[in-house]
Amino acid sequence: MNRWLPFEWIAAVRFLREGRLQTIFIIGGISIGVGVIVFMSAMLAGMEANFIRRVLTSQPQIQLLTPDQVARPLRNAAGEIEDAVVQRPSQRVISIDQWPKIRTQMLAMPEVTAVSPTITGSALAIRGDASRAVTLTGIEPDTYFNIVKVPDYIVAGSARLTSEDVIIGTELAKNLGATVGDKLNLQAASSANRVLTISGLVDFGNKGANQRVAFIALRTGQSLLGMIGGVTTIDMTIKDIYAAETIARQIQAATAVEADSWIATNAQFFTAVQAQIYTNTLIRLFVGLSVAFGIAAVLIVSVIQRSKEIGILRAMGTSRGQILRVFLLQGGLLGFIGSLVGAAMGALALIYWHAVARQADGTEFFPLILERSLFIYTAILATVTGLLAATAPAVRAAKLDPVVAIRG
């Protein structure tokens, strides 16, 4: 008998050990439940991280744009509106008013992690007889690469971007018959043109994007698009990606720009991610409930089986509180041991599934993310579930009338 263990622990452990088969079965049940939770949580977290990485590393989380240009109806002297229908004006590409000030403001926000001004516009990429319409994006590489991880998508050449360089999509390169080191003539709508050297090819995993994308230095973009010193968008990343919409609304209310979050611009994708999170939570909840009911059922049976022994313990001077703790501890111990075995089972199943499940192109279906916190939270959750599940049986045991219990 371990002299460091209090009476309640000794009794709880002995009772569990004596009802061996019952204990093994319920630990098996808890382990399977915990295993399912660990497996699903880790796999879904991996898949979610994968989706989010793919979406959010190829686009800014919040984008500040010039507000829509509106036509104001004429008013006469009496203040009456003269025109009932006002036609929406065509939207000219114009610079964000006082963008350096807005950038400073954004950088001062604690939620914001990176800010980068960009200029975007349409141009024609011409090489020999071939020409293609492209979306020019003039960027400051140092800051922009913190938002859109262009270097991660480079498949040929490098992410170098001096005023003489251009990085284009792989499909565009294919269509133009160009590769790294070749010259490319970029011609803007205003007929201004520049000949730049292709320094790298990017593959965003999206054919449409790969056909149109062309990154150039910010100053080159400004001169080509005829907007010296101007920018059309300010791209940003933030700490909590799920707060993007709220922060965007705050920015829009505080400044004279329009703010679009990735949540608004990728509404369908975001809904899919949310649905996945809800489903995962629901599954965890129901698995947790079934585990709790299993523990409670086993302990209720144990209380009935042991009612005579409980009566004896009470007759020997054991208090109601001690009896209560003996059964609470059994619930907690079942939950804790079950969570350890279950976490190991879940992790092994995940490692196996990660090795087996592959996408069509042979790449991994989901990244293997086994965070220590998942195991710690699961162990705490299972132990607390065990304790809660044991409450009803423990109260019942503590309330047993020793006379009735001993008489059986």
218-220-225 Cα angle (round to 5): 95
Amino acid letter at 96?
I
Segment lying near other proteins (by CB under 8 A), choices 125-133, 194-202, 308-316, 385-393: 308-316
Q: Report yes or no: 54 and 363 within 8 Å, Cβ to Cβ.
A: no
The whole-angstrom separation of Cα 241 and Cα 224 is: 34
What would the DSSP string read from start to end of 373-403?
HHHHHHHHHHHHHHHHHHHHHHHHHHH--HH
Near other proteins in 347-406, by CB under 8 A: 402-403, 406
Closest CA to 103 of 56, 159, 62, 138: 62
> Which residue's CB is nearer to other proteins, number 6 or number 73?
6
The whole-angstrom separation of Cα 202 and Cα 158 is: 9
> Which residue's CB is nearer to other proteins, number 23 or number 170?
23
The residue within the footprint of other proteins, chosen from 110, 205, 229, 317 (CB under 8 A), is 317
The residue within the footprint of other proteins, chosen from 319, 367, 371, 399 (CB under 8 A), is 319
Residues with Cβ < 8 Å from 6, sequence gap 6 or more? none
- Could you tell me the smallest distance in angstroms from the CB atom of residue 339 to other proteins? 24
- Could you tell me the smallest distance in angstroms from the CB atom of residue 14 to other proteins? 4
76 binds other proteins (CB under 8 A): no
Closest CA to 216 of 277, 116, 135: 135
Q: Report yes or no: 338 and 31 within 8 Å, Cβ to Cβ.
A: yes
> Which residue's CB is nearer to other proteins, number 35 or number 311?
311
The residue within the footprint of other proteins, chosen from 31, 66, 170, 318 (CB under 8 A), is 318
82 CB burial (10 A radius; 0-12, 13-18, 19+): exposed
- Could you tell me the smallest distance in angstroms from the CB atom of residue 275 to other proteins? 49
313 binds other proteins (CB under 8 A): yes
- Could you tell me the smallest distance in angstroms from the CB atom of residue 313 to other proteins? 7
Tell me the backbone φ, ψ of residue 300, rounded to 5 degrees. -60, -45
304 binds other proteins (CB under 8 A): no
What is the residue whose two structure tokens read 């059964």?
327
The residue within the footprint of other proteins, chosen from 40, 47, 309, 384 (CB under 8 A), is 309
> Which residue's CB is nearer to other proteins, number 259 or number 397?
397
The residue within the footprint of other proteins, chosen from 314, 327, 337, 347 (CB under 8 A), is 314
First-residue to last-residue Cα distance in the chain: 29
Q: Report yes or no: 226 and 188 within 8 Å, Cβ to Cβ.
A: yes
> Which residue's CB is nearer to other proteins, number 18 or number 152?
18
Near other proteins in 3-42, by CB under 8 A: 3-7, 10-11, 14-15, 17-18
What number of chain residues touch other proteins (CB under 8 A)? 29
> Which residue's CB is nearer to other proteins, number 213 or number 326?
326
Kindly list the residues in this chain that would bind other proteins in the complex (CB under 8 A): 1-7, 10-11, 14-15, 17-18, 308-309, 311-320, 322, 402-403, 406
